[in-house]
Amino acid sequence: MHSEDSLNKKETSYKPFEFSLTVKNMHLWRGYRVTDEAMTAANVYYTSKNGKFEAGLWGGVGLGGNYTEFDYYISYTHKNWTFTIWDINNYTDFPDAQIFNYDRAETSHFIDVSVTYAFENFPLKTSWSTIVQGRDTYVTSSGDLRNAFTNYVEASYVVASGKDWNLGLYVGAAFSFESETHFYGNRPGFNNFGAVYSKTLKVYDGYSIPVSATAMWNSLQDYGALEVAINFF
């Protein structure tokens, strides 16, 4: 649920710890409308000096008080590959959630493991993500609650770009090898496709703000949405 994409990053002296703040009119993630209310997202993270390792805390809060999330993540990049583990804890619908409870029948958490490959000299990026633990479950014919190990695959491609903007298209699909029903819907299929337009707004001399607009369609849930995000710092 966290994006590190930005335009025209300036080289600065090494800072191991940093934080950022993003404001959105709503929050989209892998075809989900996580919340339809305006929200803020804060990210506090550590980055190694070579830039390959990152670990952080990500939190989202709806301005109407109807959405709360608190996640942990680590990632490692080697050449064109990035490996990421997220412990995602959206406890909006879990008023009695216990922060360290990972029982699949009760937890508000799910752990997502991803591998991403970015092609060289070609603006195509592909990823495969699998939920390995938590509230990604299904009920067997004998009544047992099992993990579905839901998979999500995505490809994104930058179709046009300029000095301070770019336009990308993406498509994502979800499925489980364990069950017809999975974390993103009741059947396998394309649950996330659309376009992202990103640009940098120059507020005044020496200061600019990255902004983006994402148009998303979900054929499994039969809806669409438009998210606008402003990254203040």
The tokens for 120 are 């060289």
User: Hey, how many other C-beta atoms are within 10 angstroms of the C-beta on 167?
Assistant: 15
Which value, in Å, is the radius of gyration of the alpha carbons in the chain?
18
What does the alpha-carbon distance between residue 118 and residue 116 come to, in Å, rounded to a whole number?
7
Q: What is the mean pLDDT of the chain?
A: 94
The predicted structure's pLDDT at residue 13: 87
Among 2.40.160.40, 3.40.50.300, 3.40.30.10, 1.10.3720.10, what is the CATH number of 17-231? 2.40.160.40
User: How far are the Cα atoms of 38, 125, 197 from residue 121, in angstroms, in the given order?
Assistant: 37, 11, 21
CA-nearest of 15, 16, 39 to 26 is 39
The tokens for 34 are 């996580």
User: Domain map of the chain by residue range?
Assistant: 17-231
What is this structure's pTM? 0.92
What pLDDT, in 10s, does the model give residues 184-231?
Answer: 999 999 999 999 999 999 888 878 999 999 999 999 999 999 999 999
Would you say 192 and 198 are in contact if contact means Cβ atoms under 8 Å apart? no
The predicted structure's pLDDT at residue 2: 54
Percent of the chain past pLDDT 90, that is, above it, reads: 91
* Torsion angle of the four alpha carbons 13, 78, 124, 84, in this order, in degrees rounded to the nearest 10: -90
What pLDDT, in 10s, does the model give residues 153-186?
Answer: 999 999 999 999 999 999 999 999 999 999 999 9
What pLDDT, in 10s, does the model give residues 57-115?
Answer: 999 999 999 999 999 999 999 999 999 999 999 999 999 999 999 999 999 999 999 99
